[in-house]
Amino acid sequence: MSSVASWEAEYLRSKESNATSAPSFSHRGLSAPLEDDLLIPDVQLGEPLPEETPLEQLTRHWMNERHAPDILPAQDVLLGSILDHIRRQSDTIQLLRGDPSTSEEEHIRIMLAQTEVERVQFVVRSYVRTRLYKIEKYARYIIANEDVQTRITTAERDFASRHANIMDRHFYSSVLQSLPESQAGLDDTPHFIMPPMVTEPETTRAVFAHALKRTIARTPEGKTIDLPKGSLTLLSYAAVADLVAAGEVELV
């Protein structure tokens, strides 16, 4: 009986958490600048975004992160709740596995639950690794740029600064210490054809944007591009970066 009770409890809990993690659309609306509303009068602002389960949200953020050249805002609350859910589900599985009275039917449930835990873990790992990759790649850019630091968690920020530090020390001890002092810097202003010494995200790179609601993208040159709901457009990441962060556009 205890096993059935724990499945039930999990079911109720998942229903509750769905209710509380509804899209914070109105919240975003409040913090958006006022002129946004005035410039795009033909867009229906009340149109709700499609409802997503936490796993669907994570999958969307995972794909966004994989396709976006820049590092996206951290989803630590969502990630935390999914990790908690994985842990609770794994605990239930362990409990049922150890129970000798578990029936044949229950074995199939356990196997399915276990399969799903592994699928979700894969998504979580790939998501975290993608962020780590970007942090390693842009470590020096991140520690020099406060705007990017607002998008990452404290742990990620510590990791970035430690990584940048280690790389600096390595470059210094292997090469830079033997160079004249004027050439031993790691952040010189680049000469006209040289790439910059600090690797920065290539925000103008093209991405495939799928509009989840009707919205309007603005290119850095000031052009506007209408994105009807459900449309698929290849355009510069810089034009949709804000829309991706707001969840109105997903990268595919």
Per CB under 8 A, does 66 bind another protein?
Answer: yes
Q: Contact, 93 vs 117, CB < 8 A?
A: yes
Per CB under 8 A, does 32 bind another protein?
Answer: no
Q: State how far the Cα of 20 lies from the Cα of 2, in Å rounded to an integer.
A: 27
Give the CA count within 13 Å in the CB-facing half-sphere of 240. Answer: 30
- Measured from the CB atom, is 16 or 37 closer to another protein? 16
> Residue 188 Cβ, how far from another protein at the closest point, in Å?
23
- Measured from the CB atom, is 143 or 238 closer to another protein? 238
Residues 71-110 close enough to bind another protein by CB under 8 A: 82, 85-86, 89, 105, 108-109
Within a 10 A sphere around the Cβ of 230, how many other Cβ atoms?
Answer: 10
Per CB under 8 A, does 221 bind another protein?
Answer: yes
Tokens of 192: 């006209």
How many amino acids of this chain bind another protein (CB under 8 A)? Answer: 57
Q: State how far the Cα of 6 lies from the Cα of 1, in Å rounded to an integer.
A: 9
Stretch that binds another protein, among 7-15, 32-40, 72-80, 174-182 (CB under 8 A): 7-15
- Measured from the CB atom, is 75 or 89 closer to another protein? 89
* Measured torsion, CA atoms of residues 23, 27, 33, 35, in degrees rounded to the nearest 10: 70
Stretch that binds another protein, among 1-9, 70-78, 166-174, 177-185 (CB under 8 A): 1-9
- The H-or-E segment that residue 234 falls in is strand 232-236
Query: Binding pattern to another protein, positions 158-197, x when CB under 8 A?
Result: ----------------------------------------
- Measured from the CB atom, is 122 or 171 closer to another protein? 122
For 130-185, give the DSSP string: HHHHHHHHTHHHHHH-HHHHTTS-HHHHHHHHHHHHHHHHHHHHHTGGGS-GGG--
Within a 10 A sphere around the Cβ of 212, how many other Cβ atoms?
Answer: 19
Per CB under 8 A, does 234 bind another protein?
Answer: yes
> Residue 55 Cβ, how far from another protein at the closest point, in Å?
5
Q: Three-class SS string for 50-76? A: CCCCHHHHHHHHHHHHHHCCCCCCCCH
Per CB under 8 A, does 63 bind another protein?
Answer: yes
- Measured from the CB atom, is 15 or 27 closer to another protein? 15
Q: State how far the Cα of 188 lies from the Cα of 235, in Å rounded to an integer.
A: 31
Binding site for another protein (CB under 8 A): 4, 7-8, 10-11, 13-15, 53, 55-56, 59, 63, 66-67, 82, 85-86, 89, 105, 108-109, 111-113, 115-117, 119-120, 122-123, 126, 129-130, 132-133, 136, 204-208, 217, 219, 221, 223, 225, 230-236, 239, 252
